[in-house]
Structure 1
């Protein structure tokens, strides 16, 4: 999970030590949450004990943070399970804690999604996509295969070169085209989509992806709010959905 922190937040980590006030009240979790919100201005989704004794893990909309029990030390990084095939425990915890919030965060964007609806719909997935990435194009080329298996694909934009960029402008043109579904196919085939403007804000979709912990495309959001990174062919995605839902 790659988390992008602002310069202001990084400066906060360096110059604003997180310490618990001697006269603060409430649980340790509440105190630590208050410190992070006050000093770093992050949105804390959950706070609980970490897999390492003496640490608490804070799932935030800006990523995963670890804080010492006394509130004096802060760690930004991943914890791995050496005894379980190097499982990334940070990713696992982040994905689980963010599942329900992700679903709520997606709702305002539903009106802007590009939807390739399955005739006999059984599953709906939301894919953060980029018009230039090879595996995004591969997924798009197999759209009929997903739809035939009852999987509806909904697209949101995640320009890998960031915002602003020519990449983001290209995706803006797709979303603002007269026929966005046709424009997406054209763009992912290497064609040029005529620049256009509309009320859709690609940057908001991109920043939503960052809040989800996405760092590459395609990234597939399931109906339970979990995220599957990378491309999955139709049959494999179907099996993933059958196991997960």
Structure 2
């Protein structure tokens, strides 16, 4: 799951799919020519694109190149949440967001992240985490617990609007002598390091970086091939994506 302010309406959308009687192969037709401009004016944000979906009369709306919502043909209603293919048991929304959310991993300022090397550290993973996000702790305690041969770079990314104390905790962890150990001690034992958190820290830079990448919630994961996915993803999925990303990275070097 993802800890942020977007409301998931996956079940509502699933209900729409059932009641509409449309299959994934159904042709919803092209979006109305004026829908993009109309939504841009109503929402007050840049509408990158408007595309058809498997549901007739429901259109995918891409905001600021990364965020996805859905609209009716007249632009009178919008829906936020996952569009789910029930037959394939997959989120169409998540797949599209992953396609849109690609960055150049080599250009990330990894010196601003808490670094942990496991095994040979050959695979690379970036995680945006809020110290007070329960799903971030779940990711660490369950999904990442048994993953080896990886270097994990954790950007401390406090969502102060919902976790007022997260920024202070981020500074305390960053100012610890052993940042990786401090992060683990907090995630697993809820024990913070004994310091004043007054050292120079990258928290503000991390927030700007996340914003530039379209990260608006935690946890968010960035793989070596530039793919970005959100939520406490299961460990087997992360392990598979790490292998795929590593293979792609090595292929590019040849």
2:116 maps to which residue? Answer: 116
SS in 1 for 2:168: helix
State the partner residue of 1:47: 50
Distance change >3 Å, CA 113–CA 205, structure 1 → 2: farther
How much is the aligned-residue C-alpha RMSD, in angstroms?
A: 4.0
Q: How many residues align structurally?
A: 213
Within the alignment, does 1:63 sit opposite 2:67 as a pair?
yes
Q: Which moved more, 1:182-191 or 1:49-58?
A: 182-191
Which residue in the other structure is 2:81 paired with? 77
CA 1:136–1:82 in 2, change beyond 3 Å: closer, same or farther?
closer
Q: Give 1:116 shift.
A: 2.0
Which runs of 5 or more structure 2 residues have no equivalent in the other structure? 7-29, 249-254
Change (3 A) 1:93 1:113: same
Query: 1:74/1:238 Cα in 2 relative to 1: closer, same or farther (>3 Å)?
Result: closer
Aligned match of 1:88: 91
Residues 110 and 82 of structure 1, relative CA distance in 2, 3 Å threshold:
same
Quick one: structure 1 residues 33 and 141, their matched pair in 2 at CA, closer, same or farther if it must change by over 3 Å?
Answer: closer
Q: Specify every segment of 5 or more residues in structure 1 that has no aligned partner in the other structure, as ranges.
A: 6-26
Q: Which has the higher contact order (CA 8 A, sep 6+)?
A: 2
Shift of 1:49: 1.3
Native 8 Å contact 1:59 1:65 kept in 2: yes
1:227 matched residue in structure 2: 229
TM-score by length of 1: 0.64
The CA distance in 2 between the partners of 1:96 and 1:141, in whole Å, is 23
SS at match of 2:128: strand
- Residue 196 of structure 1 aligns with which residue? 197
CA positional deviation for 1:164? 5.3
Q: Distance in 2 between matches of 1:195 and 1:30?
A: 57
* 8 Å CA contact 2:31, 2:51 repeated in 1: no
Distance 1:172 1:39, change over 3 A: farther
**TM-score, length basis structure 2:** 0.62
Residue in structure 2 matched with residue 10 of structure 1 by the alignment: none
Contact 1:49/1:57, CA 8 A, preserved across alignment:
yes
